[in-house]
Amino acid sequence: MVSVPLREYLFLSHFSTLSDQKFSKLLSIYGDLKSIVSATPQELASHGVNSGIVGQFKSAHRHAISNSDVQKTLEWSYLEGNFIVCYEDIRYPQRLKEIDHAPALLYVKGNPDLLNTDQIAIVGSRKASPYGLSIAFQLARQTSAARLTVTSGLASGIDRRAHEGALEESGQTIAVIGSGIDRCYPTKNRRLKREIEISGAVVSEFPLGSPPLAHHFPRRNRIISGLSMGVLVVEAATRSGSLISARLAMEQNREVFAVPGQLSNPQSAGCHQLIKQGAKLVESVADIIEEFPQIDIKSAEGSEKQAIKVTNNRSEAQDLGSIYEDSTQKKILTALKCQPCLLDTLASETNLDMGELIESLLELEYQGSISLESGRYHYCGI
């Protein structure tokens, strides 16, 4: 691998007075740091760089060597599984270079080679319905089975289920986060973050230790869409971060997809709005795959013809026995198909031992067949 001036990148990105946008703009113009440093002050001034900042470029190496924060960050990168990928690193994702204000560097924990794989972003509401959670999980599994990397933002709700669906299938998933890579937000996704670090990759543009500030998340969203060939919105209200991701995807000339939902669910309104504006309606991953004929994609088994089955908690009874041979799980699902239940109510209706019941509930929840919301278990479909 060609040596890159990582120390200088770290100093100029985080510890100098140079703005991220200015640095990104210069990198997109000149291609590498050496060419920026070699440019005349007059050339840099024509791109809006004042004489003070020119001096920082010229002395970046000296400042980087003496900066303790740069040294601490480099020491982090020496640990197994930790990487810093700067703009001129061959591992830097080529698609990301196409966007405005591409980050000068990325912190990666996991497999940095995934950054240049073909990716589909799956995003949506943090307060998703059981239907939306089930659909996100199914679509992520189908996408992963088609040998596409599933990219999302490690948030609660749709993001979480998208990552979990990909992990269950191939393990190839990328989580782009809005904090320093050594932090986890929300904290309840800490275990999920560790799983992604093992088989996928967690990515951040923010310095180590950075808190999850509100203004970080729109910046994170531009990376999610920038890494991907297209963005799929599963559920979103009319004013949500997922619609910001969709708008950014359009601006970045990416494909935008949306899953239709129930008219009575406000979390479906954003997807319906996107479809009206030209986003492609998605019923299965085949609807996504057919938009990319230039890429050799393995079709997910059965996805060409099999549309997502839209179910709800009061749908008519199905034959669960052929799908779940486990009689305990069959009892639970049969009860939940009638109505959402509290744990005690479910124990009474199924007449199951509490320990056995909880174990089966955890397994069904992991499979995406049920979800737990406000203390009640909901049936999500099969």
pLDDT band at 325 (very low <50, low <70, confident <90, very high): very low
What does the pLDDT look like over 141-181, one tens digit per residue? Answer: 999 999 999 999 999 999 999 999 999 999 999 999 999 99
Please name the amino acid found at residue 378: H
Residue entry with tokens 């020119």? 54
A 10 A CB-CB count for 59 gives 14
As given in the structure block, the two tokens for residue 142 are 């189908």
Q: Could you confirm whether domain 117-289 is CATH 3.40.50.720? A: no
Asked if pLDDT for residue 355 goes beyond 80, the answer is: no
The number of beta carbons lying within 10 Å of the beta carbon of residue 6 is: 20
Determine how many CB atoms are found less than 10 A away from the CB of residue 5: 18
Highest mean pLDDT among 119-128, 314-323, 339-348: 119-128
pLDDT in tens, 3-26: 678 999 999 898 888 888 888 999
| d(C-alpha 230, C-alpha 221), whole Å | 13
Whole-Å CA distances, 350 to 1, 248, 320, 329, 369: 60, 48, 15, 10, 17
Residue 310 — pLDDT band, cuts 50, 70, 90?
A: very low
**What pLDDT, on the 0 to 100 scale, is given for residue 345?**
86
285 neighbors 138 (Cβ within 8 angstroms): no
CA distances from 342 to 231, 313, 314 (A): 36, 14, 16
The C-alpha torsion from 324 through 327 and 330 to 334, rounded to 10°, is 160
pLDDT over 90 (residue 259):
yes
Task: Tell me whether residue 101 is exposed, middle or buried, using C-beta atoms within 10 angstroms of its C-beta: 0 to 12, 13 to 18, 19 or more.
Answer: middle
DSSP at 262: -
How much is the pLDDT for 326? Answer: 56
Domain ranges of the chain: 6-112, 117-289, 327-379
123 contacts: CB under 8 Å, gap ≥ 6: 152, 153, 158, 159, 162, 221, 224, 231, 232, 233, 234, 236, 241, 242, 245
What is the rounded average pLDDT of the residues 311-336? Answer: 55
CATH of domain 327-379: 1.10.10.10
pTM of this structure: 0.78
Q: Which residues contact 282 (CB under 8 A, 6 or more apart)?
A: 139, 232, 257, 258, 259, 288
Q: Cα dist. 329→236, 272, 343 in Å?
A: 31, 35, 14
The amino acid that residue 116 corresponds to is N
Average pLDDT score over residue span 265-286: 92
Query: Which pLDDT score is estimated for 366?
Result: 61
* Closest to 120 (Cα-Cα) out of 191, 174, 67, 70: 174
